[in-house]
Structure 1
Amino acid sequence: MTKIILLVIFLLSIASAHADTMDSSQGQLKLERMASGFDVPWAIDFLPNGAALVTERAGRLNYVLGQNKFRIKGVPRVVARGQGGLLDVLVPGDFHQSRQLFLTFSKSQGNGSGTALAVAALSNDFKRLTNLRVIFEASPSSSTSRHYGARVIESTDGTLFLTLGERGERDSAQDLSRHQGSVIHLNRNGGTPASNPFVTRRDSQPQIWSYGHRNPQGMAFDRRGRLWVVEHGAKGGDEINLIRKGANYGWPIISYGRHYSGAKIGEGTSKPGMQQPVWYWDPSIAPSGMMIYSGKLWPSWRGHFFVGSLKLDFLSRLSGESLTEKERLKGAATGRIREIAEAPDGSIWFASENDGAIYRLTPAN
């Protein structure tokens, strides 16, 4: 009997080591560590069976379901340097039929690298990617190793949107002959939709949907089907933008931030013909992933925005027609948050770079 009691105490101690609580406007949240041992976990998406797919920037794709965790083989070769590597993962809505996954990554291009999008089929045992092919890569290449952007999302019509940073080459964001510093719009096979705004212009890349972006690393659709991105400013001026077809978001001509040297950026904070952010942070929080919540577990948060901070170690919750920050969720595990995602059951998952772990939030009661 004594041995049984000691065993129960030991098991409870293990469970408590992986669970904690966090205060919020909706009461206490249960915080659970779902998996650990990742080297810069960058993205999370979910399979229909409830498993999480987790990318590591070093070039690994992982399958996580309960205690079952393993590495999926067959990922593309990446340039794992600076901010580059294996970045986003997307499970499309027709995964049941297609078995397809989409991956963004930094791809070698001559003497430089560029953001690329690949599609592959996931084997029935979830252990290998097959028929991998690159369906888009940004042009021209860049010799820098920063600002790849690289979030990918599926629209209701099955087309794809992909964010591209300006690679630290600021003027490229205003140059329509270059992909850098834009949100691009692709058909499922990588082709260009005929509805794209610059598809008939010879001096433009036809995949561009919007431009003038610095480094957008979060993207989501709201309940009305509108597309939003969150992007890094320089020293101040991190932005949430409502994306409009053909619109110019101003970088580096306008910004609410300053260069890291303290120098003024461009011409100020506004200019005719350039879009204003719906929300901006100053000082910067270094925003990463973004999620717009369904309301499944917390109905009062339906339609609210959640953004991870890489710099200040919290989850930002924003809401309202004009979009304002309402709350900062912070706890022992919210260090350098790279990604935030909603699971099919309505729980909120996030990736922490500090300890290389994946966490889940649910109501504590």
Structure 2
Amino acid sequence: MKPAIRPIAQLPLSFSASVKMLSPVRPLSQACLAAMLATISIASLVHAPAARADTVMSPGEKTPVAKNIATETLLEGLDHPWSMAFLPDNGGMLITERSGALNFWKPGNDKPAPINGTPQVWAQGQGGLLDVVLAPDFATSRHIYLSYAEEGKDGKAGTAVGFGTLSADNTTLADFKVVFRQEPKLSTGNHFGSRIIFDRKGYMFIALGENNQRPTSQDLDKLQGKIVRLFPDGRIPQDNPFVGKQGVRPEIWSYGHRNQQGAALNPWSGALWTNEHGPRGGDEVNIPEPGKNYGWPLATYGINYSGLPIPEAKGTDGPGLTQPIYAWKVSPAISGMAFYDSDRFASWKHSVFIGALSQKRLLNLKVDGNTLKDEQVIFEGERIRDVKVGPDGYVYVLTDDSNGKLIRLGQKN
């Protein structure tokens, strides 16, 4: 029986007030080879690539643990919560549960309230209702974007993204419209991704998993293991790097990704940053650039879950491949990602928070231009699925469990 959702402490009504199988080896497709040969000309057409330092490796077991952290559990009883979004003007928050529920919650309420009108989801394995994001023009449109696993005709699934209009009383999502579908549908329950990010120009980026079908990340006629860039209504921008390339999906922004479960817009540079699960080792952070190949499965810092090498991998790097900016030799199973640009806690300023599932941690790393350093553990003991910085400057996390929690973190004193 699903446990009742309950508050742990009585909370004030505003956020600001409340918290002063091994795949066979196969050759690259013709589309992929053609795209790789075209990379140089593509980069020059879009913009010059940013300067990039070598990959920085995590200190792993030597990562220090912060000691001055205050935590408060706000909710329990959530069914594998996946994502959250803050409504403006201290209007509460939206929380997704992987089983398919979209919820509205505001401090002072004893439990979240379900929102009607959500799409039917394929809730199997890692699939279900996933990300929730407010449209850039939410203040006038009240559009809410959702990513979710969608079933295909043969019983397999893929990621879909759509939006609906949230009612003024936060009880209904009306007129839901699908604007993106990952094709072909190949997942039997694994590696959907997926995060939705809007940049400052209003483009929508969707970070996608490769459905646990490794070679597809290099196949540019497929949408597995890619980042796609679209207009909010699903139209394809004509300056996308592969527009007009024969046999290549024009939605694609970058490729060679594995299972991207974290993404955020860097508030200082305006660039999209993503993180992704490696196999057994090799989790990584990237700053995806147009037309670039991020290597999976041709290059990785990890090995297979069986302990054997990844069959397609030739090492940690290769010709035409772009290295991650940061990587873990032992996988934390990284997930949600949020930059910290609040004035509330000075020592967190100019840093990024990254959740970890298997290591049951929340990590914090300093951001120095396009590099990460000074990794530390902020919180331990729960599988962290999502992390967001609230409008109050506190850090909020969702834990991945059948009795999932919403936890608020700050610093003591």
**Regions of 4+ moved over 3 Å:** none
Is contact 2:207-2:261 (8 Å) kept? yes
Q: What is the CA deviation profile of residues 61-82 of structure 1, one whole-angstrom value per residue up to 9, with x for unaligned ones?
A: 1111013221111110000000
d(CA) in 2 for partners of 1:32, 1:357: 10
Structure 2 unaligned segments of length 5 or more: list them.
1-7, 11-17, 19-63
d(CA) in 1 for partners of 2:410, 2:306: 42
d(CA) in 2 for partners of 1:156, 1:80: 32
Paired residue type of 1:311: S
Q: What is the CA deviation profile of residues 105-160 of structure 1, one whole-angstrom value per residue up to 9, with x for unaligned ones?
A: 00111112110001100001100000101000011111421000010011111110
Q: What is the CA deviation profile of residues 20-67 of structure 1, one whole-angstrom value per residue up to 9, with x for unaligned ones?
A: xxx975x63331112221100000111013311110000001111013
d(CA) in 1 for partners of 2:210, 2:119: 23
2:307 maps to which of 232, 253, 262: 262
* Cα distance, 1:134–1:320 mapped onto 2, change above 3 Å: closer
Greater Cα shift, 345-354 or 170-179: 345-354
Verify: 1:160 aligned to 2:177, yes or no.
Answer: no
Name the structure 1 match of 2:333. 286
Name the structure 2 match of 1:329. 378
* Cα distance, 1:230–1:341 mapped onto 2, change above 3 Å: same
Name the structure 1 match of 2:47. none
Paired residue type of 1:364: K
Name the structure 2 match of 1:362. 410
The offset of 1:83, in angstroms, is: 0.4
Question: How does 1:89-238 map onto structure 2 within 5 Å?
Answer: 89-111=132-154, 112-222=156-266, 223-238=268-283
d(CA) in 2 for partners of 1:188, 1:37: 33
d(CA) in 1 for partners of 2:177, 2:265: 26
The offset of 1:329, in angstroms, is: 1.4
Greater Cα shift, 79-88 or 321-330: 321-330
Name the structure 2 match of 1:57. 98
Is contact 1:233-1:257 (8 Å) kept? yes
Secondary structure of 1:330 counterpart:
strand
Is contact 1:32-1:360 (8 Å) kept? yes
Paired residue type of 2:108: Q
- TM-score for the superposition, normalised by structure 1: 0.91
Is contact 1:296-1:345 (8 Å) kept? no
Paired residue type of 2:282: G
Is contact 2:187-2:212 (8 Å) kept? no
Verify: 1:340 aligned to 2:387, yes or no.
Answer: yes
Q: What is the CA deviation profile of residues 154-196 of structure 1, one whole-angstrom value per residue up to 9, with x for unaligned ones?
A: 1111110001100011000000000000011010101101110
- TM-score for the superposition, normalised by structure 2: 0.80
d(CA) in 2 for partners of 1:310, 1:279: 18
Aligned residue pair count: 344
What percentage of residue pairs aligned between the two structures are identical? 40
Paired residue type of 1:231: E
Paired residue type of 1:220: A
Name the structure 2 match of 1:272. 319
The offset of 1:303, in angstroms, is: 2.3
* Cα distance, 1:182–1:277 mapped onto 2, change above 3 Å: same
The offset of 1:252, in angstroms, is: 0.4
Is contact 2:350-2:367 (8 Å) kept? no
Name the structure 1 match of 2:291. 246
Structure 1 unaligned segments of length 5 or more: list them.
1-13
Is contact 1:316-1:327 (8 Å) kept? yes
* Cα distance, 1:238–1:325 mapped onto 2, change above 3 Å: farther
d(CA) in 2 for partners of 1:108, 1:264: 32
Verify: 1:300 aligned to 2:347, yes or no.
Answer: yes
The offset of 1:274, in angstroms, is: 0.3
Paired residue type of 1:62: N
d(CA) in 1 for partners of 2:133, 2:204: 10
